[in-house]
Amino acid sequence: MDFLQDLPGGSPPLTRAHKDRDLGNLLYSSDSDDMATIREPESKVDKDKLDPEVLKNLEMHQGFMRQAINVAEEALAGGETPVACVLVHNGEVVARGMNDTNRSLNGTRHAEFLAISEFLAKFPADKLKETDLYVTVEPCIMCASALRQYGIRCVYFGCGNDRFGGNGSVLAVNSDRGLEEGYPSYGGIFRKEAIMLLRRFYIQENENAPNPRAKGNRELKPVV
């Protein structure tokens, strides 16, 4: 998942396993084993309401996000945090990425970084300015910054991430004033499906967690 390092002078940076545990806290209530929904900005009254810009060509956006969801399903089947993305250039998916942080124990191997690596093996970097990203979960601050520096044209995401999100949930890295030109970002496309993927992952045992919690008594709640 997408994660934020501690600020200088605070506690030591979190390990990947600690970060996975913290993300799990977004999905479960802190004082019970009941499943909770991912929290998103409280100012967003209707979390499933899509931006008019997305609605102009909803079927196309859903088609590309569905491909990202399918890649996230592959990640889940492999025991990885089910966050995935696709890069779309000239109306075609040209690169894909899924989280690889659990397997590699490398917290920088987020879906967006892997997709960018695949893209750069095929195209020059400046082509990213003509490319859109579809990702199941809002990019973290680290990924949002990288996308801005590469000049991504637009980002579409499924569910928000109000703990580590860099496209408005925590920081608006995509649009804040900076040296690089910002990029537009739209959320909510297959939001419920993205949340359910994460719920399915976090009811499993996480062998990489520092203090694994027994989860055999947890039930998957279908309501988002």
Which residue out of 40, 112, 138, 193 is catalytically annotated? Answer: 112
Q: pTM of the prediction?
A: 0.76
Could you read off the pLDDT of 172-211 as tens digits, one per residue?
Answer: 999 998 878 999 999 999 999 999 999 999 887 555 554 5
What per-residue confidence (pLDDT) applies to 203?
86
What per-residue confidence (pLDDT) applies to 7?
29
Whole-number percent of the chain with pLDDT over 70: 71
Could you read off the pLDDT of 127-186 as tens digits, one per residue?
Answer: 999 999 999 999 999 999 999 999 999 999 999 998 999 999 999 999 998 878 999 999
CA distances from 26 to 6, 31, 162, 219 (A): 18, 12, 9, 16
Section 81-105 average pLDDT: 97
20 in a structural domain? no
Q: Domain limits at 195?
A: 52-201
Is 112 part of the annotated catalytic residue set? yes
Q: Match 């545990």 to its residue by tokens.
A: 21
Could you read off the pLDDT of 13-52 as tens digits, one per residue?
Answer: 333 343 443 444 444 332 223 333 334 444 445 777 999 9
Section 98-118 average pLDDT: 96
Q: What is the CATH number of the domain that holds 186?
A: 3.40.140.10
15 in a structural domain? no
The structural domain count of the chain equals 1
190 in a structural domain? yes
